[in-house]
Structure 1
Amino acid sequence: MGVILQDQVALVTGASRGIGRGIALQLGEAGATVYITGRRPELSDNFKLGLPSLEYVAKEITNRGGKGIALYVDHSNMTEVKFLFEKIKEEQDGRLDILVNNVYNSLGKATEMVGKPFFDQDPSFWDSINDVGLRNHYYCSVYGSRMMVERRKGLIVNVGSLGGLKYVFNVAYGAGKEALTRMSTDMAVELNPYNVCVVTLIPGPVKTEMSLKNSIEDFVKDESEVYEKGESTEFTGKALARLAMDPGRMKKTGKTLFTEDLAQKYDFSDRPGMEPQNIRSVRTILGTMGKPEIAKYVSPKIKLPKWVIWQSVNRF
């Protein structure tokens, strides 16, 4: 890919593992200075799962050609979040080019309540899901956009989910993910005059460290085969890095983008042997509907238009 973002400063929240790590590594490979955040070791599941530390990920970024900077941040504590942006502003002379809102409190909390209707859950479950996954993203976007508006350029990417398009896990999870998409769209309206691009990026099914170490069949029984053929965490990173390099990205502001669509547009592929599943692909849709025998005869290039996806979730 070459060193193309060598003068760029990025922040990727929740980058100790999974999609966040994949994004941070690809931005580093493109030459960017990448701040990454994660929970303190005593609060993180990484050690128990045998996964690398946040500092190790920062070294990986530097080894890829960028500059990795690890910062421990509790994203449920808005005082710490504010301090994070003040630190970046001070260290980078007010510069922040790319903000990736990826941190999520715990997918485990969302899956714990699968099969239990919202009215049988304690209402505080909403906060446990959306305090970090939605509220924090708003705070980060406020602080990050202030630096971008001052320089009249920037990119904010909110990492979304299929849960923003259809029912997944439970009510609190879906409401938060769809709200995140709406937040991107509305922020784009207000930031457009300042040349700041805001998008929601939705990966397809992803093979994360968590899904490899735990049975995803426990909470996505009807779609486990699709997840087994999922994309790597760095596939999302490649999509985001290419978007950051695109001089015409403002044409996409306010839009919801899918990783595999960007792979076709920017002509990149996943790791050898990986088969990213486009969520608009008729083949993928048939597979999730339990019709793999029919799906195998359909070309993966045949996709539903985005307006059809929108109509399928439209309430009017």
Structure 2
Amino acid sequence: MTGQLHGKVALVAGATRGAGRGIATELGAAGATVYGTGRSTRAQRSDYDRPETIEDTADLVTRAGGRGIAVRVDHTEPDQVRELVQRIESEQGRLDILVNDLGGEHLMDWHKPIWEQDLHKGLQRLRVGIEAHLITSHFALALLIKRPGGLVVELTDGTAEVHERYYRSEGGVFFDIVKVAAHRLARAQGEELKQHGGTAVSLTPGWLRSEMMLELFGVTEANWRESTTAPVGFGISESPQFVGRAVVALATDPELARWNEESLSSGQLAKVYGFTDVDGSQPDAWRYIQEVEWRGKRGNPADYR
């Protein structure tokens, strides 16, 4: 797909690390100009207090073959988002792809009922995971609809089918609400975009080998299979590039509109479009999770790759 997005402009809101970085990099590999936003810069860390920066992401985009542009933005602040979109319009005159990957994973309160969760963190997670998405779309879509064929991707964790059947108790109520909201946000935006030739979807990666996940299990992307502390299910994990390739596949599909308002997964789209992860496999994490992990059965993750 190299060069297929040459001349196209993308905004990846939340591109500092994880899925956002993987998506930005793969869009760059396809030739796009990518504005990657976040709050962690080389000059100042955000409250994540991690080393990854938006400048690093921009460099990865450029090295991949695109043009990476890092912009520090707090997407819960409307004025900052307005200025960002005005800048994109003045510099590029267009916006073709919007990826909303604002989640606040550092605000997790694992395995606690609502009355034991940190209320401040929970409400902040709603602001980042829902309110910031709405603020970003409010300003960005007015630019995106100026050309037909625009794509909006709402990143989430789990498909709509998963969320209909299961309460994501491991993350608690705030986590569950944010991840479910992505499907409704995609559906609402899809309804409003289709008359302008645009498409909106919700998209979930599987078990993501993010920087934080690799650090947790004491491995790197080069040796992740060698972890001695990760559970068996880590064997179905995928790189951030995998979901990035899913976004590129959508953005380069001449029949993109067929997916409007749909809930999609990286594993599902890999089978449709034929792309693979960096190791050449096609991990179907959500099928493994539902058929094996959540049913308490034995299963080999390699059978789902």
Paired residue for 1:43, among 37, 42, 45? Answer: 45
2:112 aligned counterpart, secondary structure: coil
1:201 aligned counterpart, secondary structure: strand
Corresponding residue for residue 271 of structure 2:
264
Q: Where do residues 183-262 of structure 1 align in structure 2 (5 Å cutoff)?
A: 183-214=185-216, 224-262=231-269
2:200 aligned counterpart, secondary structure: strand
TM-score by length of 2: 0.86
Corresponding residue for residue 140 of structure 2:
144
TM-score by length of 1: 0.83
Paired residue for 2:158, among 159, 162, 177? Answer: 162
Corresponding position: 1:63 with 2:59 = no
Q: Distance in 2 between matches of 1:184 and 1:163?
A: 12
Aligned-pair CA distance for 1:214: 1.9
Corresponding residue for residue 102 of structure 2:
103
Q: Distance in 2 between matches of 1:150 and 1:273?
A: 38
Aligned-pair CA distance for 1:215: 5.0
> Please, which runs of 5 or more residues in structure 1 have no aligned partner?
217-222, 302-316
Partners of 1:229 and 1:275 within 8 A in 2: no
Q: Distance in 2 between matches of 1:277 and 1:265?
A: 12
1:279 aligned counterpart, secondary structure: helix
2:175 aligned counterpart, secondary structure: helix
Deviations 1:86-105 (A, max 9, x none): 11111112x00000000222
Letter in 2 for 1:116: K
Q: Distance in 1 between matches of 2:280 and 2:251?
A: 26
Q: Distance in 2 between matches of 1:229 and 1:273?
A: 13
Q: Distance in 2 between matches of 1:114 and 1:73?
A: 27
Aligned length: 286
Letter in 1 for 2:97: I
- When residues 29 and 193 of structure 1 are mapped into structure 2, their CA distance, relative to the original with a 3 A threshold, is same
Corresponding residue for residue 76 of structure 2:
76
Corresponding residue for residue 116 of structure 1:
112
- When residues 56 and 297 of structure 1 are mapped into structure 2, their CA distance, relative to the original with a 3 A threshold, is closer
Deviations 1:214-265 (A, max 9, x none): 259xxxxxx9432343000000000100110001010110000111111011
5-14 or 126-135: bigger deviation:
126-135
- When residues 210 and 122 of structure 1 are mapped into structure 2, their CA distance, relative to the original with a 3 A threshold, is closer
Determine what percentage of the aligned residue pairs are the same residue: 34
- When residues 178 and 33 of structure 1 are mapped into structure 2, their CA distance, relative to the original with a 3 A threshold, is same
Partners of 2:270 and 2:282 within 8 A in 1: no
Q: Distance in 2 between matches of 1:24 and 1:240?
A: 9
Aligned-pair CA distance for 1:11: 0.5
Aligned-pair CA distance for 1:128: 1.1
1:150 aligned counterpart, secondary structure: coil
Q: Distance in 2 between matches of 1:55 and 1:299?
A: 38
Partners of 1:75 and 1:81 within 8 A in 2: yes
Corresponding residue for residue 312 of structure 1:
none
Corresponding residue for residue 296 of structure 2:
290
Q: Distance in 2 between matches of 1:121 and 1:38?
A: 26
CA RMSD, 1 decimal: 2.5
Corresponding residue for residue 222 of structure 2:
none
Letter in 2 for 1:266: Y
